[in-house]
Chain A
Amino acid sequence: MNQIYLDYNATSPVRPEVLEVMLPFYMEQFGNPSSVHWAGRQVSGALEKAREQVASLINASPAEIVFVSCGSEGDNMAIKGSLDPLKEKGNHIITTAVEHPAVLETCEALEKDGYEVTYLPVSKDGQLDLADLEKAITDKTILISIMWANNETGNLYPIEEIGKIAKKYNIRFHTDAVQAVGKIPVDVQKANLDLLVISGHKIGAPKGVGAIYIRRGTRMKSFMHGGHQERNRRAGTQNVAGIVGLGKACEMAASEQKDYYKRVRAMRDRLEDGVLSQVPDIKLNGTPDRDDRLPNTLNVSFAYIEGESLLLNLDMFGIAASSGSACTSGSLEPSHVMGAMCVEVTLAHSSTRFSLGPETTEEEIDKVLEVLPATVQRLRDMSPLYNCGKTAEGCETCETVRRI
């Protein structure tokens, strides 16, 4: 059976070109980049090359790039590392209700430590109202942390506009750009960003490596204490091979960006058009304006059925997707993103995300479109909610279970 992987927002395979440049750094060029001898010198150059490759993709300077172990570490570092240097100014953070847990859980933990956090609401389409952002700003606001692209819906947030607001009020600005980098143009100068986080494994580099952009002159408190690596900003011997891989993946993303967008968007649009026209009673989660969404992401809820059972059925055909259902998260509540968007609770349980990659083919999309309608119907025929007079409309009163 052919395997069809449509979960690239979860992770992506390491690209062959990336693996190829990484391999010498395991056995041949194994040195510690902090060492002065030949073995160390062999690898320190590779580290700096990778720094340039990452910086170039986001229009930063190499000195502004710090390598970390993953996106979550970068987000934790960006937020927690900003608190101490700005404590004289205040203790208020503004973020959104739809952030990745790496930001959301960090902010929730900080609330317990006495920090004030504003979670900006989103519309039913998952969009932000920037008037809400300006209203939330106080003279105690020290950080705005808003993701560039939402991992579940693919919604893009107006980072450049937010950057202007941050500049106007002189507030530090962080974005979790894990889903955006490599998929759409990302420019830290245009967006007036102080902090931006990248994850390797979302863009064809391995798991266990990421990077944070820290604008020159941005004071940060060390998050990890130890040696003097990364200009004293992140202790610990660098994951050289992973970093070399991340650099290569960024270089490839930069050169392929336009082609990638066109190609993957055509595939996603083919899937979206097919699903919307072939399956009745479904709800698109996220903005219907496809220009305001990542080119690779489609999130839909299939009324009357539950997400995990749909995923298991698709899995039998070799199709890998993901769901906002509680059953796939290990909790009893469906996705907080669906909750923040006021998606009716059974629809939240059935939200299904298809996230495409550069390798996704037309044949694969057509196979999904062949299998999906019948699979959905089979589960609907089993559902007590189907054909019982209830409609699949969204809720009016927002009774949805919400974590925030």
Chain B
Amino acid sequence: MYTDKVMDHFTNPRNVGEIENANGVGEVGNASCGDIMKIFLKVEDNIIQDVKFKTFGCGAAIATSSMVTEMAIGKTIDEALELSNQAVAEALDGLPAQKMHCSNLAADALHEAIKNYKAGNG
């Protein structure tokens, strides 16, 4: 049911973990629907230098988290804010229909982390 890309990111997730001196942290999801995603950012000069994630969730939740970290690194925070959940799903060659709503929240977590960064540096 998952694409090869989803399985690749699920089995070998990129950028798992926390950033010790993160200057932006965002968390979305809730336990009742089974997905919680937490994104840690290191932003310097408006550019995302490092991203890490921790995720509780299904295969799609872990794969989208991994993919969004790859997509965000090196981007300006404004560019990163343009990243959508849809774009993350497309980069993984799609997700099963029933996963599009419940487990496709990684871009939202990234946006929350950027908001948190902006609030701290406003």
With A327-B34, A349-B34: A309-B54 Cβ-Cβ less than 8 Å = no
Among B11, B55, B102, contact of A332 (Cβ-Cβ < 8 Å): B102
Chain B, residues 87-103, CB within 8 Å of chain A (1/0): the string is 00000000000110011
- In the assembled complex, how far is the CB of residue B107 from the closest CB belonging to chain A, in whole angstroms? 17
Whether A309 pairs with B31 at a CB distance below 8 angstroms is no
B74 within 8 A of partner (CB): no
B42 CB to nearest chain A CB (Å): 18
**Proximity bits, A287-329, B CB within 8 Å = 1, else 0:** 0000000000000000011111100100010000000011100
Q: For this complex, into which size category does the number of interface residues on chain B fall?
A: 20 to 34
Residues of B near A385 (CB, < 8 A) are 36, 56
User: Known contacts being A309-B57, A327-B103, is A384 close to B27, with CB within 8 Å?
Assistant: yes
Contacts of A309 in B (CB 8 A): 10, 57-59, 61-62
Q: Is A346 an interface residue (CB 8 A)?
A: yes
Q: Which residues of B contact A330 (CB under 8 A)?
A: 98
Q: Check B32 against A333 for contact (C-beta < 8 Å).
A: yes
How distant is the Cα of A345 from the Cα of B60 in the complex, in angstroms? 19
Q: Are B58 and A382 in contact (CB under 8 A)?
A: no
How many residues of chain A are within 8 Å of chain B by beta carbon? 24
The minimal Cβ–Cβ distance linking B17 to chain A, given in whole angstroms, is 8
Chain A residues contacting B27 (CB-CB under 8 Å) are: 384
- CA of A306 to CA of B56, assembled, Å: 6
The reply to whether B54 and A383 form a contact with Cβ atoms under 8 Å apart is: yes
A334 contacts partner chain B, Cβ-Cβ < 8 Å: yes
Given A327-B103, A330-B98, verify A305-B34 contact (CB < 8 Å). no
Contacts of A349 in B (CB 8 A): 31, 34
Query: Is A316's CB under 8 angstroms from B58's CB?
Result: no
A345 lies within 8 A of B16 (CB): no
> Do residues A326 and B55 form an inter-chain contact, with CB atoms below 8 A?
no
In the complex, the answer to whether B58 meets A381 with C-beta atoms within 8 Å is: no
Q: Which residue of B lies closest to A326 (CB)?
A: B34
- Residues 28 to 69 of chain B near chain A (Cβ within 8 Å): 31-38, 54-62
The 8 Å CB contact of A308, one of B36, B55, B58, is B58
CA distance A308 to B27 in the complex (A): 21
Contact with A along B1-40 (1 / 0, CB 8 A): 0000001001101001000000000010001111111100
Choice from A325, A345, A401 contacting B58 with Cβ under 8 Å: A325
A334 to B102, CA, bound (A): 13
Nearest chain A residue, comparing its CB with the CB of B30: A345
Contact with B along A360-389 (1 / 0, CB 8 A): 000000000000000000000111110000
> Can you give 23 contacting A-B residue pairs, CB < 8 Å?
A306-B56, A306-B57, A308-B59, A309-B10, A309-B57, A309-B61, A312-B7, A312-B10, A316-B11, A325-B58, A327-B34, A327-B57, A327-B58, A327-B102, A333-B33, A346-B31, A349-B31, A381-B16, A382-B13, A382-B16, A383-B54, A385-B36, A385-B56
**Could you list 16 further interchain pairs (A-B, Cβ under 8 angstroms) beyond the known A306-B34, A333-B33?**
A306-B57, A306-B58, A306-B61, A309-B57, A325-B58, A326-B33, A327-B34, A327-B57, A327-B102, A332-B33, A332-B34, A346-B31, A384-B27, A384-B36, A384-B37, A385-B36
In order of increasing CB-CB distance, the 8 nearest A-B pairs are: A308-B58, A327-B58, A384-B54, A384-B38, A349-B34, A383-B56, A346-B31, A312-B59
